[in-house]
Amino acid sequence: MKIDIDRLGLKNVDVDPDTLFNFPQGLAGFEAHRRFKLFHQEGGGTVFWLQSVDDSLVMFPIVVPEALDLAYEIELSDEDCALLGLSDPADAAVVVIVYRDAAADGAIGANTRSPVILNLKSRLGMQKILHEIHPSVLYRGR
């Protein structure tokens, strides 16, 4: 399978379909996008990318919460575990979507209220909406 990664100017990138993550419910605001490729640019630091294989313009920068000095204890319901095909918590990875906040002079923000849970074994993912957490964290670079 070949995909384009328009935001990085890459065309006809080879992707093994067995390496895709499937999001049965999509991501918030992007429910129609279900298949994503996770990749890391060489020299890209701690940022990884979730690239939709269904729409080359849909791509999310993600980081592990520890990269932002955050820690999560997330309780998943039986329905969440079934959606992820998750039977062993060791198979789960938590990441957060990061963004530039134009309203805060381009500071880097993180969507801490809606982390993404990935089952690294089944290659299933979901976005978990948390109700008892501060909605975002902003970091300013100097």
Kindly tell me the sign of the dihedral angle through the C-alpha atoms of 22, 84, 112, 49: negative
Domain ranges of the chain: 2-139
For the chain, the C-alpha Rg in angstroms (whole number) is 15
At 112-135, the pLDDT tens digits run 889 999 999 999 999 999 887 654
Query: What b/e string do you get for 86-118 counting C-beta neighbours within 10 Å, with b at 16 or more?
Result: beeeeebebbbbbeebeeeeeebbbbbbebbbb
Is the pLDDT confidence value at 141 over 70? no
How far is Cα 7 from Cα 21, in angstroms, rounded to an integer? 20
Q: Are the beta carbons of 26 and 33 closer than 8 angstroms?
A: yes
Q: Considering the domain 2-139 in this protein, what is its CATH number?
A: 2.30.290.10
- Its pTM surpasses 0.95: no
